[in-house]
Amino acid sequence: MKPLIRNLIPVLLLALCSISLHAQPAKNQSTVVVLKTANTLLQARQYEPALEYFKKALQQAKKSKNIYQQAQAWEGLATLYSQTKQSTEALVAFQTAIKLYKGIGYNMIADLLNTQMRQFLGVGDLYAGIEIGAKGIKLTVIDVKPGSQISDFTLRMDTSINTDAAALSYQSEKETLDAITLLYEIIQDRFEVPDKRIYIVISSGLKQELDKYNKADYFAGIIRPKQLDPKIKISFVTVDEEAAFSFKGIVPQASRLTANQLDIGSANTKGGYQDLSRKFIPVTFPIGTRSFQKLLENRVTGNSSMFDYRKAAEKLITDSLGRMINYSFRDKAEFKSREQIYLSGGIVWCIASLMHPEKIKDPQIELSLQDILDFQNLASTDFETLANPELSKTMTTEDAAASRANIKRVLNTYDQKSLLAGSVWLGELIRQLNSSNPNRKLLFPRYAYVGWISGYIMDKISRQYTDVAAN
């Protein structure tokens, strides 16, 4: 019997603790202890006793005129009421706690509670980002629900205006200024996004071009609309920063330790991965589809055939750029070995659109190295077939129309030579990546084109709370 009694002792103690915990709060307990007990019960989802303890804590805090403990009690009640779907009571508790915290200068806690309240009410905040790139200006408006991850944001609007900002001419500067002015008016008039949630950013690729002529600050000033609020700065990002923002904006949080990301831009290529300590490791190249094409056109004559153009592109890879890629990947074994890579950039969109037009409604398209090689062959030998892919007979009329419209946008943005040059550059990147893992999944998420600017916005949101805490 003695061993049995010994085995029953922990059970009996646990039962006694449970009875004590569910009892009415003792009068001699301090408010700190009552609040701690209430929160422990709340975590255990013991709502009725938790409610009694929070009310007792509130009563004691009022009696002692301790505003901070009153705010804590109301905060606990707000959480309890929201978890038990008591909307009116939750709203009153949230608002009271927020007011009390602000009254004693705890603004960060008040702001976080306000975020939780908005989450409970299902209310989001609109943010707008204007990306000034080498080939165009993009507007992204997103609705960020409190507590959501970037891949869960709601895209309210995205549009772009083709300009040639990298030309650095009077005409391109004027076109860029006009485009930013128009997009800023849309942000203000249609969405009424407050200025503190508007970000205007010059991409790393364009800054790379501006830095060649020491014109970055001049350019930022000349393209600034006169009506732009002085509080809104036109910022720059480095290639490493843009890579980190792209990763954050494109790769789902659950995949960040098992996947990597690569954005093939017009002026550069950037991406990276998170190591086991969640540190972001950038992988960047100073070459993109446009800059590769510029190098290529120095090697061919104006009347060269597409066959000669492709051979010159392949020779450029063999002579120099292939070795640069190999050298950059040499100490990135983890990047090369991962099972999935999220791809973004104009050339990836083109290949997905023209090689898989039937997947126009798919939120994510899986590509292969063979897709890229087939794209190269068609771009150099049968452009008519590439530009007019056969649509699946199983597609609905609506999907077929959407696919044709998408293909039209591709062909209005890129000509035959730029498509071929871009696919050769992308093909070499993937070929070298696949040398260590030929079964790697190449994923093109359709939201990728708003990835880095959305990652930039989310980073700014996080820093706002960090800065408040630091101060």
- Write the DSSP assignment of 195-239 as a string of letters: GGGEEEEE-HHHHHHHHHTT-HHHHHHHT--TTS-TT--EEE--H
| Single-letter code of the amino acid located at 319 | D
Predicted local distance difference test score (pLDDT) of residue 178: 95
Q: Which one-letter amino acid corresponds to residue 428?
A: E
The domain limits of the chain are: 20-121, 125-236, 239-454
**Number of Cβ within a 10 Å radius of residue 458:** 20
For residue 145, what pLDDT is reported?
66
Give residue 254's pLDDT: 87
How does DSSP assign 137-197, residue by residue?
A: EEEEEEEE-TT--GGG-EEEEEEEEE--GGG-SHHHHHHHHHHHHHHHHHIIIII---GGG
Question: Which residues are registered as beta bridge partners of 235?
Answer: 201
Q: Would you write out the chain's pLDDT as a tens digit for each of its 471 residues?
A: 444 444 444 443 443 444 344 444 445 579 999 999 999 999 999 999 999 999 999 999 999 999 999 999 999 999 999 899 888 899 899 999 999 999 999 988 888 888 778 777 766 678 899 999 888 899 989 887 654 444 456 778 888 888 888 888 999 999 999 999 999 999 999 988 888 889 999 998 899 889 999 999 999 999 999 999 898 999 999 999 999 988 988 898 889 999 999 999 988 999 999 998 989 999 999 999 999 999 999 888 878 899 999 999 999 999 999 999 998 888 888 898 899 999 999 999 999 999 999 999 999 999 999 999 999 999 999 999 999 998 988 899 999 999 999 999 999 989 999 999 999 999 999 999 998 888 889 999 988 877 777 788 777 776 665 555 555
For 156, phi then psi, to 5°, come to -90, -35
Q: What's residue 152's pLDDT?
A: 55
pLDDT of res. 85 = 87
3-state secondary structure (DSSP) of residue 447? helix
Q: Where are the alpha helices (DSSP H) in 358-471?
A: 369-381, 383-387, 397-413, 416-433, 451-470
Distance (Å, rounded) from C-alpha 351 to C-alpha 372?
Answer: 7
Q: Do domains 125-236 and 239-454 have the same CATH topology?
A: yes
Instruction: Note the CATH number of domain 20-121.
Output: 1.25.40.10
Q: Could you give the maximum distance between any two Cα atoms of the chain, in Å?
A: 100
Task: Give per-residue pLDDT as tens, 287-333.
Answer: 999 999 999 998 888 788 999 999 999 999 999 999 999 988 888 88
pLDDT at residue number 317:
95
> What are the start-end ranges of the H helices in 284-396?
289-297, 306-316, 322-330, 333-337, 346-355, 369-381, 383-387
How many CA atoms lie within 13 Å of 314's alpha carbon, on the beta-carbon side? 11
Of the candidates 165, 450, 135, the one whose C-alpha atom is nearest the C-alpha of residue 266 is 135
**pLDDT for the residue 180:** 96
Token reading at 165? 């900002």
Q: Per the CATH hierarchy, to which homologous superfamily does domain 125-236 belong?
A: ATPase, nucleotide binding domain (3.30.420.40)
- The distance from CA 121 to its chain's CA centroid, rounded to whole angstroms, is 24
- DSSP structure class, residue 23: S
Distance, CA of 92 to CA of 78 (rounded, Å): 8
| Contacts of 411 by beta carbon, 8 Å cutoff, 6+ apart | 387
- Confirm if 227 and 181 have CB atoms less than 8 A apart: yes
Token match 């901070």: residue?
68
Helices (H), 226-282: 239-250
How far apart are alpha carbons 115 and 227 in whole angstroms? 31
Distance, in Å, from the CA atom of 113 to the CA atom of 111, rounded to the nearest integer, reads 5
Q: What is the CATH number of domain 239-454?
A: 3.30.420.150
Is this model's pTM higher than 0.85 or not? Answer: no
Residue 434, classed as helix, strand or coil, is coil
pLDDT value of residue 122: 66
CA 181/CA 137 separation, integer angstroms = 11
